[in-house]
C-alpha cells in the first residue's frame, strides 16, 4: 500500500500489465486447445498420446497441415517408428537415407530411426515438395511416394503420375481417417516404387 501511494501506477503501466495478462490468458487457452487436439488424434488413430503429441509438434514446426501429417504417417508406416521397407525407407515417414542427408548432411541411419528426427525430416521433405509443386498437394504426395524424377519423367512423356497413393492418403469424400471405410476397388493399391525412383541424389535446384 505504501509503495502504491509512493509510486502510483501510471496509465501506461496499467495498460502494459493488462496486455501481459491478456497474452498469458490467450497462451493458456491455446495450450489447452492444442492438448484437446492431440487427445482427439490419439483416440482417432488408436495411438499413444505421446506419439500423437510428437506428430502434432513436428507438423507445426515444419508448417505441414496437422491432419495431413497424421494421414501421411498412417499410410507410410502405420505409426510404427521401426518400420523398414524392402527398398530401405526408414521410420514413421519412411525416409530414404540419401534424401535425409540432403536435408540434414551427415545424418546416420540410426538417427533416422529416432522418432522426432524422422518426423521433422519427413515433414520437411514433404513441405519442400509442396513448395516445389506450387501447393499442389496431390502431386507433392505422388512425388513423395514415387520420387521427383519419376514424376518428372511421366509428365514429360504426357502421362499422369497418379498411382493411387494420394487418394490413399487423402481419402475420398467422407473417407475414414483410420481406413475403416470399405476399400475402393476402382483404384489399384499403390506399391512402393523401385529404389532408383526414390530419393533423388539431389533435390531440385532452389529447394
164 part of a folded domain: yes
pLDDT of residue 70: 97
What is the sign of the dihedral through the CA atoms of 44, 72, 177 and 79?
A: negative
pLDDT of residue 49: 97
Minimal CA–CA distance to 199: which of 150, 153, 160, 165? 150
Answer whether 0.85 is exceeded by the pTM: no
Nearest-10 Cα torsion for 42, 43, 47, 50: 30
Helices H / strands E in the chain, number of each: 10, 0
- The C-alpha angle 125, 57, 20, rounded to 5 degrees, equals 130
119 part of a folded domain: yes
* Number of domains forming the structure of the chain: 1
- Cα 116 to chain center, whole Å? 11
Which DSSP letter does residue 173 get?
A: T
116 part of a folded domain: yes
CATH code for the domain in which residue 182 is found: 1.10.530.10
117 part of a folded domain: yes
CA atoms of 76 and 88, how far apart (whole Å): 13
Q: How many CB atoms lie within 10 A of CB 102?
A: 19
206 part of a folded domain: no
140 part of a folded domain: yes
pLDDT of residue 30: 72
**Which range marks the domain in which residue 115 is found?**
63-197
Express each pLDDT in 1-11 by its tens digit.
Answer: 555 555 566 77
pLDDT of residue 172: 59
172 part of a folded domain: yes
The rounded percent of the chain whose pLDDT value lies above 90 is 66
pLDDT of residue 183: 33
90 part of a folded domain: yes
pLDDT of residue 8: 63
Which DSSP letter does residue 95 get?
A: B
Express each pLDDT in 33-68 by its tens digit.
Answer: 889 999 999 999 999 999 999 999 999 999 999 999
Give the chain's residues under pLDDT 70: 1-9, 18, 20-29, 172-207
Amino acid at each position: 500500500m505504501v509503495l502504491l501511494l509512493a509510486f502510483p501506477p501510471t496509465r501506461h503501466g496499467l495498460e502494459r500489465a493488462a496486455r501481459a495478462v491478456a497474452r498469458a490468458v490467450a497462451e493458456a487457452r491455446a495450450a489447452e486447445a492444442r492438448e484437446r487436439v492431440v487427445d482427439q488424434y490419439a483416440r482417432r488413430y488408436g495411438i499413444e498420446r505421446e506419439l500423437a503429441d510428437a506428430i502434432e509438434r513436428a507438423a507445426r514446426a515444419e508448417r505441414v497441415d496437422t491432419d495431413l501429417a497424421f494421414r501421411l504417417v498412417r499410410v507410410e508406416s502405420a505409426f510404427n517408428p521401426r518400420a523398414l521397407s524392402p527398398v530401405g525407407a526408414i521410420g514413421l515417414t519412411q525416409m530414404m537415407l540419401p534424401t535425409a542427408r540432403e536435408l540434414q548432411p551427415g545424418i546416420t541411419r540410426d538417427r533416422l530411426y529416432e522418432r522426432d528426427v524422422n518426423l521433422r525430416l519427413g515433414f520437411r521433405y514433404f513441405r519442400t515438395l509442396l513448395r516445389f509443386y506450387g501447393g499442389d498437394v496431390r502431386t507433392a504426395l505422388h512425388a513423395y511416394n514415387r520420387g521427383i524424377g519419376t514424376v518428372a519423367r511421366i509428365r514429360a512423356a504426357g502421362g499422369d503420375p497418379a498411382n493411387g497413393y494420394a487418394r490413399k492418403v487423402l481419402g475420398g469424400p467422407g473417407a475414414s481417417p483410420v481406413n475403416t471405410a470399405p476399400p475402393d476397388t476402382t483404384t489399384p493399391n499403390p506399391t512402393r516404387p523401385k529404389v532408383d525412383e526414390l530419393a533423388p541424389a539431389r533435390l531440385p535446384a532452389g529447394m
